[in-house]
Amino acid sequence: MSYHHVRRELPYSADQLFDLVGDVEKYPEFIEWFVAVRILHRSSNVLDVEQIVRFKGLHAQFVTRATLERPTRIAIVSHDRPFETFEQIWQFRTAGPQRTTVEYETKVELHSPILEHAMEALFNEAKIARETVDAFEHRARQVYRKRDS
C-alpha cells in the first residue's frame, strides 16, 4: 500500500479551500489527469462521483464517495476494482487571518500485487500527491485573485 501526506499553509480561508476541493466537477479544468467527472448522486454532504483519469496513456474509470464536513474535512473513498484500498483525506485548519493549513493524505492499494508493483514502477505517487495540492493552490490563486480584483 502506498501512503502519502502533503501539508501546506495557504493564504486563503478554510471555506475557500473547502469549496475548491468540494467542486469536483471542475477538476478536469485544472488537474491534467482528470478526463471527466460526473456526480451520480448528491445528498446533503455526500457525493457519489464517477471519474475518468489518465496517467501515462492509461485510463481508469471508477466511482468514489466523498463525505464533506464543511469547512474542515473532505474524505474520499472508493471500493471499485482495481482498488483494495482507496482513501483521500483533505483537512483544512485555520492558521490565522485568511490563512489555512491544508493536509492531504492518500492511501492506495490495488487488489492485484502484480498491478501494485506495476503502478509503483510507472508512477511516482509522492509526486502525484504534491502535484494534486499544487493544482489546488494554483486554482485558488486564479479563482480568488479574480474576485479580489
Q: What pLDDT, on a 0 to 100 scale, did the predictor assign at position 115?
A: 65
Which of 109, 67, 117, 63 shows the shortest CA–CA distance to 85?
109
3-state percent breakdown (helix, strand, coil) of the chain, nearest 5: 35, 50, 20
Report, as an integer, the average pLDDT of 21-45.
96
What is the reported pLDDT for 41? 97
All domains in the chain, ordered by first residue: 2-23+65-148 (3.30.530.20)
**When comparing pLDDT for 46 and 119, which is higher?**
46
* Span of 16-30, 43-57, 107-121, 126-140 with lowest mean pLDDT: 107-121
Taking the C-alpha atoms of 26, 131, 20 and 39 in order, what is their torsion angle to the nearest 10 degrees? 40
Residue 64 confidence class, pLDDT cut points 50, 70, 90: very high
Neighbours of 97 (CB within 10 A): 7
- Please give the single-letter amino acid code of residue 31: I
Percent of the chain residues topping a pLDDT of 90? 71
Mean pLDDT of the chain: 90
pLDDT of residue 117: 61
98-140 pLDDT tens trace: 999 999 999 988 877 766 666 665 567 888 899 999 999 999 9
